[in-house]
Structure 1
């Protein structure tokens, strides 16, 4: 009887997982199919290529063609540069701050208060700082430039990175760093030679998460840019015209937009899983 109950629970779990997988994968599959439909077939329920409809590369020719191809490539290039550089800057500053709040004790302003203040900066909505960011960048004459968007993304993602790095460094044994200090290493050398290599899975996890958040960010890009620094989310939103939404074009652009984060996450999945589960099991 006990074995039968376990089998029944396993079957129920598999059914739930399969339904969840279908629910999750279906929008991407439908988008891929729609991208190979002609504009006249975008509202049809045809699902099987070569059986229910004839595949067409019209959407990809328009998106990557001479008319809109340069705009699409510029959006991809801007998204890659902004997400990569802002995530790298967030990782650098977050590592320093997380390590300092974990290994050092501040007396005038306690570590717990500093960490709580940092976390509070992530709680308010981005629209609350959109206009101040715009005024600052206008004063510095950085509107519609990559540094403006990179700084905005860095400031917005930094609190999350600091808190995650604090957890990762807290899980490292302090005795290893103390031994390095006894052997003659300075605090910076112990940080770069001991703490950072040991927390590599966590560093990769933080970088991937910040990269994804930056890649999908929309508000700051719309506020701080208008032509040269448009990213893929803004370009996709720009497909809405007075005629309506061209789903064939949106599908093609969406597939292009999700490819870099998916490839990056797949290449670093081993470190990503280890980093996200670091410290989850207490002995």
Structure 2
């Protein structure tokens, strides 16, 4: 019998190509890039505008003159470096803890002696925890931190960021571990490797793209976290998102200094994502395929 040729399923690129020609696709790409890049352009130009132009109505799209007054105002504050350091320490430490503990928990669920259905329920539970509204726990968290004398400390922010990033890391890493061939672990077991050694010496290095992708998402989440940072910090542990909100005063919005602080907040994240973009994209692609 002659084997029937399998029909190739249409890819999204082919569908778009059949629906719209090349000129339309180019226009759509250009419009998408404008929508993505325009807020960054507006933020950057606002940080260099003179006060009359960033308060003008209608808004000035192309500034006629540039000034460093807003940068001098922001960098002249003694607290800026401390705020930046707070943000970096909280984001970095909470990310390291989240990735380490989250990877170990995900590996235990993915390779533990539990049923497939129970594993799915675990994944659903971690995803639901990430979707849980943080504001619902704001008052209990504040009372607990006050009782532990952790108000206005980095420790409190690290604990909260870790607790909210752990479900995301566990859920993502479960997808990576489920794709790994079990033969690797069987070979390690024959060589006498225990559960912990298998994880740290064999599995952990193999899942590098997934760890980087999870780590970047956790870092960005901690870097941008505002709710608990504004509730639990008073002065010493203020992070950059709280500082940005501080430019909203009863006298109006200080657009220039706010834009400068936002640029300072944005640059480290862009640099980290740019440096790890290859592993980041590879990790997201790996985690997107399960089963």
Is 1:89 the counterpart of 2:100? The answer is: no
Tell me by how many angstroms 1:132 deviates.
1.4
Tell me by how many angstroms 1:186 deviates.
1.2
What's 1:268 paired with? Answer: 276
> Which of structure 1's runs of 4+ aligned residues deviate more than 6 A?
none
Aligned residues: 273
* TM-score, length of structure 2 as denominator length: 0.88
Matches within 5 A, 1:55-204: 55-65=66-76, 68=77, 70-106=78-114, 110-204=118-212
Matches within 5 A, 1:236-255: 236-255=244-263
What's 1:225 paired with? Answer: 233
* TM-score, length of structure 1 as denominator length: 0.91
In the aligned structure 2, how far is the partner of 1:112 from the partner of 1:281? 15
Deviations 1:71-96 (A, max 9, x none): 22221111111111101110011101
What's 2:215 paired with? Answer: 207
In the aligned structure 1, how far is the partner of 2:133 from the partner of 2:289? 33
SS in structure 1 at match of 2:48: coil
Is 1:278 the counterpart of 2:283? The answer is: no
Tell me by how many angstroms 1:267 deviates.
0.5
In the aligned structure 2, how far is the partner of 1:198 from the partner of 1:111? 22
Is 1:21 the counterpart of 2:33? The answer is: yes
Mind listing any 5+ residue stretches in structure 1 that lack a counterpart?
none
Tell me by how many angstroms 1:8 deviates.
5.2
Tell me by how many angstroms 1:280 deviates.
4.2
Mind listing any 5+ residue stretches in structure 2 that lack a counterpart?
1-16
In the aligned structure 2, how far is the partner of 1:245 from the partner of 1:227? 21
